[in-house]
Amino acid sequence: MKLYDLELSGNCYKVRLFASLADIPLTITPVDFMQGEHKEKHILELNPWGEIPILQDGKVVLRDAQAILVYLASKFGGEAWWPSEPHLKADVMQWLSVASNEIQHGPNTARLIEKFNIPSDMALCVERSERILELIDNHLSTHDWLAAGRPTIADCAVYPYVSVAHEGNISMLQYANISAWMNRVEQLPGYVSMPGN
Amino acid sequence: MKLYDLELSGNCYKVRLFASLADIPLTITPVDFMQGEHKEKHILELNPWGEIPILQDGKVVLRDAQAILVYLASKFGGEAWWPSEPHLKADVMQWLSVASNEIQHGPNTARLIEKFNIPSDMALCVERSERILELIDNHLSTHDWLAAGRPTIADCAVYPYVSVAHEGNISMLQYANISAWMNRVEQLPGYVSMPGN
């Protein structure tokens, strides 16, 4: 099973983190993002979005980190990481949406601006980041894990860009509950870190 | 089962559309968005995000349209709308992410600017809308439905804001495959429309 990967991408790291936690073997295929390889024909044939990560498992080809997490958890990860009970599954799903929406367009984009000089509206990213980080911090004041009362793919989808938010000049000092939760994630058996973390 | 709803919200319409297609009874509770009711205490207690839709099913309370779709489909909708096979489920999930990410921050935000005078960067919304609409149109050139070869909650998550993209001054004339797909959605038994559509 092949992961088209960029070491510095938080979206790719979501997949590497979960695969390591759930002991799912992946063959890592680095994509040369700086040389624009993700916009070349062989990648666009796998993913017309021209983005990584991409997972290839035989004939199955998937884009989008959240979808790859759902696939890996459904096929290999079992009940622990992606619950079958509808209300728990939907609880996890709420956080997969947060990863695609508020995190992607908040801390993730702030980091793209600061670390990779991608042009975007920094003031808007800071405002969005502060809003979602406060919501997450409040949630974690009464929960050890984001969803379902245990570590799930929700944590794997949200942790990466929160853990490197400082690289987008987002101050994390006031979020004590997020800090404690990040420590819990980092104590999970099989945890792997991301460069810059 | 109660849906806290705003008639003009595409996110609320995602839930109303799917519930109607899958014949799931909902009690609609209108929220007075224009008067800011979604930021009042009784709503914030259900959803700290201060957003609608919110679904309440006994003790289960869910925010985020995509999570609500997953809940309703898992609990009531059956295999047809939310496949159990990992690669098909992940195929649907790719489009739930598109709804939360590219559609939310493209056609949805363009409509908020044009129809509700919410300040944001229109040029960026147009650029994002044109990118994702072209990707969707290309996908639909070889697929009748977004995912899994049949109507699923992927279509229910993506259709609403695509069908009212013109309200955000996004030109839809060049997307013949999207137009044909919207017609297929509109022919599904139980289809209901949205105001402005």
- Chain B hits for A94, CB-CB cut-off 8 Å, are 62-64, 67
**Confidence band, pLDDT 50/70/90 cuts, at residue B66:** very high
Query: 3-state DSSP call for residue B5?
Result: strand
Q: Is it the case that residue A197 has pLDDT exceeding 80?
A: no
Report how far residue B10's alpha carbon sits from residue B161's, in angstroms, rounded to the nearest whole number.
6
> Does residue A54 surpass a pLDDT of 90?
yes
Strands B27-30 and B60-63: unpaired
Averaged over B81-88, what is the pLDDT? 96
What pLDDT score does A134 carry?
A: 98
Task: Give the domains, in start order, of chain A with CATH numbers.
Answer: 2-77 (3.40.30.10), 86-186 (1.20.1050.10)
The answer to whether the Cβ–Cβ distance between B94 and A63 falls below 8 Å is yes
Q: Please answer yes or no on whether B138 and A48 come within 8 Å at the CB atom.
A: yes
Does A90 lie at the interface with B, CB-CB under 8 angstroms? yes
Say how far apart CA A22 and CA A77 lie, in whole Å. 6
Query: Does the complex come out with an ipTM higher than 0.95?
Result: yes
- In this structure, the number of other CB atoms found within 10 A of the CB of residue A152 comes to 26
Question: Each residue of B128-183: pLDDT tens digit?
Answer: 999 999 999 999 999 999 999 999 999 999 999 999 999 999 999 999 999 999 99
Can you tell me the distance from the alpha carbon of B124 to that of A113, in angstroms, rounded to the nearest whole number?
Answer: 15
Per-residue model confidence as pLDDT tens digits over A136-153: 999 999 999 999 999 999
Q: Give yes or no for residue B57 having a pLDDT over 80.
A: yes
Q: Does A113 lie at the interface with B, CB-CB under 8 angstroms?
A: no
A104 CB contacts (<8 Å, ≥6 apart)? A161, B101
Which pLDDT band, with edges at 50, 70 and 90, does B197 fall under?
low
Contact B62 A91 (CB under 8 A): yes
Q: Is B179 helix (H, G, I), strand (E, B) or coil?
A: helix
A44: nearest CA in chain B?
B135
Q: What is the DSSP string of A116-170?
A: H-----HHHHHHHHHHHHHHHHHHHTS-SSSSTTS--HHHHHHHHHHHTGGGGT-
Give B33's pLDDT tier (boundaries 50, 70, 90): confident
Which residues are CB-contacts of B165 (< 8 A; sequence separation ≥ 6)? B107, B110, B111, B129, B133, B172
Chain A: give the shortest CA distance to residue B32, in Å: 23
Q: Shortest CA distance to B11 belongs to which of B124, B139, B91, B103?
A: B103
Identify all chain B residues contacting A71, using CB atoms and an 8 Å cutoff.
Answer: 86-87, 89-90, 93
Average pLDDT, chain B: 96
Judged by CB atoms closer than 8 Å, whether chains meet at A93 and B70 is answered as: yes
| B141 part of contact set with chain A, CB < 8 Å | no
- Of A128, A103, A108, which Cα lies nearest the Cα of A118? A108
Looking at residue A19, its pLDDT comes to 97
B2 and chain A: CB distance < 8 Å anywhere? no
Q: How many helices (H) and strands (E) does chain A have?
A: 8, 4
Which residue in A137, A5, A145, A13 sits closest to A81, CA to CA? A145
Per residue in B154-168, pLDDT (tens digit) is: 999 999 999 999 999
CB atoms within 10 A of CB B75: 18
Full-model pTM: 0.97
Question: B54-57 and B2-5 as β-strands: parallel, antiparallel, unpaired?
Answer: antiparallel
Angle between helix A153-163 and A10-21 (nearest 10)? 140
